[in-house]
A and B are shown apart, each in its own frame.
Chain A
Amino acid sequence: MKSSDAKALAVLWVKAQPTVASFIRVMVPDPEQAEDVLQETAVDCVTKFHTYDRSRPFDAWAVGVARYQVLESRRKYAREKHVFDDDLVDRIASGYQRQSERAESLRMALQGCLREASEQGRRALELFYGSRRKTAQVAVEMNMTGDAVRQLLSRTRHALRRCIESRMAAQGE
């Protein structure tokens, strides 16, 4: 690979990886397998980079490469139970490709919007998403019922989403 291509790819990949990784994590629930698929996707992106049309979004192209690797990994780990069948993998990959342009804006807005979340809501998000606690564990730690935690998470996430969308709208997204 030419060094100019390698540098350009490196910059594009650094920006695209969160979206590609998100797609893979949804498709491949096992974290270690998901990392393997991500690594293989990166290698595939390098070897196929000459086929990438630079006038089109790189993130969407990389998701397409990841889609192929997800399907490949299923053949390798055939005994694993799949969350989605091949048809749904294709549909969801297409969804990620359509949303790839907005994904970075979402991540950027998310940080700011988290600061606006209520203290209790943020605590619930930290336990549920950050520490990967189950709802029942969050309920124990926050001295709430499971239903109350679910409602709190739902409200907080809804508020986050409104905040993110309004920030993105303000930026013309």
Chain B
Amino acid sequence: MTTTLPELTTALFSGEITSEEMDTLRSQLRGDDSTVDEFVWECLLADGLQQVLSDRTALDPAALVEQAVESADLAALPRVERWLAPAWDLIKQPLSLAMIVSSLVITTILLSLELWTLPEHQPAAVAGRPTFVAKIVAISFATFDAASDGNLKNRDLFDDDQIVLNSGLAVIEYDTGARVVLEGPATYHIAGANGGDLRLGKLVARVDTAAAHGFAVAVPGARVVDLGTEFGVEVAADGQSDVAVLTGEVELIGANNGAGSKQRLRLSANEAAMVTAGSGLIAKQSEANPAWMGKMVVLQSTLETGTKASTYTAQTGEGRLAAHAAPPEVVGAGIANLPSRPGGEIKLWNDIPVVGQTFSIGDTPLILNAVTVHCATDVPPTKEYVLRVGHVSGDNFVVVAQRSAQQYDSIRANDYLTFSLDPPVTLLANGRYGFDVGMVASSTEWRDGLPYLFRSADSDYDGGSAYRSGDNGEGNSTISFIHHDLIFHLDLSALEVPADDAASE
């Protein structure tokens, strides 16, 4: 049996530790602080070896903390913060038959007595003048459609505004106090001062102010009217909707059935119903589908923890392309492979894979400002290129940033082509990265001139290798290494702690 601390730590890390050895380790760790420090030192060494020698990419700290800041901002919203606990409680508690029966009985009696008068949707807009009704108060990895792209956080919403959320989350707060968490892909239409139309996707709404009482969400074929509650709604692509109540009650009001009356159905906590788009037929379900309710809870829990349900979206945007007769100077933290003589050429065109180069970052994180490659040929305009920067692990490539850039002027043979990254990209210490260039479009024929990039004669850059990826000028998540290196230059600068600019805010 192993008894020394280094050996026990090694066995612990490899998962080969026996229960006897584990007892020995625990016993030793109950000794003095120096034994614990020794153990921690061994753990740091073992963990460092695993990280340095493994191809697996650790969680990106820069992306992680960015997500954490966004999710913490979301969680700081006072009402939203309180959503999770009751929802979890609901999920954990099986719905009792007595509860269903009693709620059905009470609902039926109340409906028959017509004790509740439901406020109908009243448009808030004044003719010719939009009325402010809500605001997007938080977003998390949200991407919106082209028409409304950009950071819409704090954007005012007016009656009749439409939000097309392609991915991520957006929290909308109405002036009445009602809140809606929308998860993309979703299409949501602001309808009046206290409601909206969900045409696609899912949302969770919370209504806990008197002013918001009667908040209504229309789905194809019906309206969900809040009676002081939290509820979830999902509209599928075929228009069918699912509605479930997390806490409180809602009333579903179906479309006119042709006989002058509307189908009405009350739902209490953990009850659910399905709405058929065309007929507006509302069918109550015996209990909410646990998997579907789970999705709603994930939506809520995302607000709490921020990172589980949302997808990290790589930075995308417009880049700038400039050609120079001489290579950039290698200064500061810059990395370059600029041999005195090129060893060959690699073609770019929109029917072949992209061309790239992996590289390594040392012991400190850096900022990548620009990427330069060496062009071997005369290239007439106009062309569109895409530059990708990503993490590399084995032959796996995960995009961190992507820029498209247009070539409007002629490029001459031997020019150095610099793609500027604005905003720049943070690269982590001891990380393996890659950049690649693809040509996705050209206004001229290949016969008129096509871009070739210079490569070195051999694999003479120690920190990485050239590669190809994807097809048709577009890279994908797999790279194939080439036994050469591109001729390249990376404009890198140190990541520095900024001066406290609180005073300027």
Contacts and interface: CB of A to CB of B under 8 A. Distances in A.
Contacts of A5: 502
B103 to A, nearest CB: 31
- Counting chain B CB atoms within 10 Å of each CB, the highest count among A15, A134, A158 belongs to A15
Interface string B50-84: 11111100110110111111011101100000000
B37 interface: yes
Interface in A1-52: 1-15, 17-19, 21-23, 25-26, 29, 35-36, 38-40, 42-43, 45-47
Interface in B425-439: 426, 428-430
> In terms of DSSP, what is the predominant structure of the interface of chain A?
helix
Contact of A13 (B13, B61, B500): B61
Contacts of B496: 11
B445 interface: no
Contact of B51 (A12, A18, A29): A18
B425 to A, nearest CB: 13
A46 B498 CA distance: 17
Contacts of B306: 39, 43
B505 A22 contact: no
B53 to A, nearest CB: 3
A167 interface: no
A110 interface: yes
A88 B363 contact: no
Contacts of A43: 68, 71-72, 75, 305-307
A8 B52 CA distance: 26
A135 B58 CA distance: 24
> In terms of DSSP, what is the predominant structure of the interface of chain B?
helix
A3 B73 CA distance: 12
Contact of B37 (A83, A99, A111): A99
A106 B46 CA distance: 11
A91 interface: yes
A3 B76 CA distance: 15
A113 B22 CA distance: 30
B7 interface: yes
Given A25-B47, A92-B39, A107-B48, A47 B33 contact: no
A131 interface: yes
Interface in B368-401: none
A35 B59 contact: yes
Contacts of A111: 52, 363, 430
Interface in B1-39: 6-7, 10, 12-16, 22, 26, 29-30, 33, 36-37, 39
Given A11-B497, A99-B44, A38 B72 contact: no
Nearest to A128: B14
B330 interface: no
Nearest to B503: A4
Given A29-B15, A128-B14, A3 B65 contact: no
Given A43-B307, A47-B72, A2 B53 contact: no
A19 B426 CA distance: 20
A1 B65 contact: no
A164 interface: yes
B40 interface: yes
B106 interface: no
B365 interface: yes
B105 interface: no
Contacts of A61: none
Given A40-B305, A157-B6, A98 B37 contact: yes
Interface of A: 1-15, 17-19, 21-23, 25-26, 29, 35-36, 38-40, 42-43, 45-47, 83-85, 87-88, 91-92, 94-96, 98-99, 103, 106-108, 110-111, 114, 125-126, 128-132, 134-135, 150, 153-154, 157-158, 160-161, 164
Interface of B: 6-7, 10, 12-16, 22, 26, 29-30, 33, 36-37, 39-41, 43-55, 58-59, 61-62, 64-69, 71-73, 75-76, 305-308, 363, 365, 426, 428-430, 495-498, 500-502, 505
Given A38-B59, A111-B363, 15 more contacts: A6-B69, A10-B62, A19-B44, A35-B59, A43-B75, A46-B72, A87-B30, A94-B36, A99-B41, A107-B48, A111-B52, A129-B53, A130-B53, A131-B53, A154-B10
6 contacts: A13-B64, A13-B65, A25-B47, A43-B306, A92-B29, A129-B50
